Amino acid sequence: MKIIITTTQAGREPNNLLKSFIDESMLSFVERRRKALPMLMEEHQADAVIVWRAEGPVLYSGHDMEEFYFHPSMAKNRLSSLRKLALPDPFINACGLKRDSTVLDCTMGRGADAIAASYICGSGKVLGLESVFAIALVMKWGMKLYRSRMPWLDEAIHGIKVEYADHNTYLKEAKDNSFDIVYFDPMFRQPRHKSQPISPLRQLADHRPLETSAIREACRVARKKVVVKETFSSGEFERLGFKKIMGSHHNPINYGVIEL
């Protein structure tokens, strides 16, 4: 996928932050010159364009110029319920997360689970891997620049390290027992809400099923647990060798857990 970077219509010369983004991404920067994004993409034969905003990068791609950017709405709602109402969070329970646990999130996506983990475990304890370059880039910089009026949320977000990597490769090279928890939340085999429009993440994401070798390596890399989020009906727990399944009868989404 060829991606270019530009500014908003009102944007001027790249500032230092944008220069670092351009350097790190190694993508080409093109001047906006008040042009519409589809025109810019056509001129540069690009499949997608990242518009640099002060709050973080926004990726536009696909026929409908779908927007993809970092926003912690789902994590914020989950953590607010946990803080105010002490409502249990099935992911935190399945992983058995505690202060100072270390977590390797092998499928970071929009980062809701990584943020929940970082909130519980503390800053610098969560590493999120993402195999789609555009997702990893937008998430990393969106998280870095995100500021809210909730210091607890900002701290959880800023404490996550994001890496563009395929977990199959990363796990093979990782040392034994290097994280307490290794977690996978792959794209569902079938979209859960067929009637809803396909989300920008779904269009961009890596849809490969989990490899049995990734689970084997995860059992070597994790000290305490390997956890997979899936629907029971997918048959994935059985295929991947998970016997302990956690979750409620009311929710089709479950967590397969291997205790080490």
Ligand X SMILES: C[S@@+](CC[C@H](N)C(=O)[O-])C[C@H]1O[C@@H](n2cnc3c(N)ncnc32)[C@H](O)[C@@H]1O
Q: Which residues of this protein are in contact with ligand X, per CB under 6 A?
A: 106-107, 109-113, 129-132, 135, 166-168, 185-187, 201, 205-206, 208
Concatenated DSSP letters of 76-136: HHHHHHHHHH----HHHHHHT--TT--EEES--TT-HHHHHHHHHH-TT-EEEEESSHHHH
Q: Hey, what amino acid is at 118?
A: S
Residue 122: CB minimum distance to ligand X, A: 19
Residue 106: CB minimum distance to ligand X, A: 6
Radius of gyration of the chain (CA): 19
Residue 60: CB minimum distance to ligand X, A: 18
Residue 167: CB minimum distance to ligand X, A: 4
Nearer to ligand X, 19 or 208 (CB): 208
In this chain, which residue has its C-beta nearest to ligand X? Answer: 109
Residues 136, 164: Cα–Cα separation, whole Å: 5
Nearer to ligand X, 18 or 162 (CB): 162
Residue 14: CB minimum distance to ligand X, A: 28
Contacts of 177 (CB under 8 A, 6+ apart): 220, 221, 222, 223
Nearer to ligand X, 9 or 251 (CB): 251
Nearer to ligand X, 46 or 171 (CB): 171
Sign of torsion, CA 145 117 165 198? negative
Nearer to ligand X, 30 or 89 (CB): 89
**Within 13 Å, how many C-alpha atoms sit on residue 33's CB side?**
6
